[in-house]
Amino acid sequence: MGPAARYAYSPARIYTPPDCLLADYLHMLDTLGIERAVLVQPSVYGTDNTAMLEAMKAAGGRLRGVAVVAEDITDAELQELDGAGVRGVRVNIVDVKDRKPGTLPLESLGKLARRIAPLGWHMEFLMHADEFPDLDETLRDFPVEIVLGHLGYLTIGKSHDDAGFQALLRLVKSGRAWVKLTGPYRITAAPLPYPDTVPFAQALLEANRERVLWGTDWPHVMLKGRMPNDGDLVNLLADWIPDAALREQVLVRNPAKLYRF
């Protein structure tokens, strides 16, 4: 994100980040030993994916992307995004005005999903799984696979027995959904090492180890509390995924399949 002087933020944004530049991001990846990564279009840019696309191009094939697109985007524009390395579209139903918890605009989402399906793309939702106790039924016949971040992004205080999380587990088990082990600080009030997130991570892995991913969630926007060190976040994998072979699957093989590296 940024520099702000070069890439204008959307007037509809709900926050304004400081500059979080590509050089800083690549330095973080190199420090942690991460060879490949995926950029997800932030809400502050709306449907203008320019900053993300230019960063992907500058990184020389190291990065893939998840874009935010308008409903009237053309097929030619979708093809162009695919050629640039985009592998999915993001839908944010959390950080929006006049939000209606527990609802999805399924008609419009389904229409867009049918258009991206021939590209092999997925649809990534920023949503709270605990608001959807019937999530597996709601999305059972969705035209493309879906991805959720932040271990399901449950409201702080919810447990892994929550009906919405259990519905998510069923969807993951069916192979229709992927979940990212990202942003643990978003689902707990506890400090590092966020011990109450372990049951969520392990339940997702038990549901379907082939549908779990990991990510840094850098640059940790809208974080309420102490900014974590990214090395400490990587170290959480030792608690979430003690088995080295399973860590390799989550860190390498699964994202290589989803993002077509």
Confidence (pLDDT) at 132: 96
Sheet with strand 212-214: strands edge to edge: 37-40, 63-67, 86-92, 122-126, 146-148, 177-181, 212-214
d(CA 8, CA 170): 41
Residues taking part in catalysis: 217
Give this prediction's pTM. Answer: 0.95
CATH class, range 84-259: alpha beta
> For residues 42, 46, 47 and 48, what is the CA-based torsion angle, rounded to 10 degrees?
-80
With vertex at residue 253, the alpha carbon angle to CA 252 and CA 256, rounded to the nearest 5 degrees, is 85
Q: Count Cβ atoms below 10 Å from residue 54 Cβ, excluding itself.
A: 14
- Break the chain into its structural domains and give their ranges: 84-259
Confidence (pLDDT) at 102: 84
- CA 243 to chain CA mean position, Å: 23
Instruction: Give backbone dihedrals phi and psi of 28, rounded to 5 degrees, phi first.
Output: -60, -45
Confidence (pLDDT) at 100: 79
Cis peptide before 195 (omega within 30 of 0): no
Per run of 10 residues, the mean pLDDT along the chain (length 261 residues) is: 96 92 98 97 96 97 97 97 98 80 91 98 97 96 97 95 97 98 95 95 98 97 90 96 97 98 94
d(CA 64, CA 60): 10
Confidence (pLDDT) at 5: 95
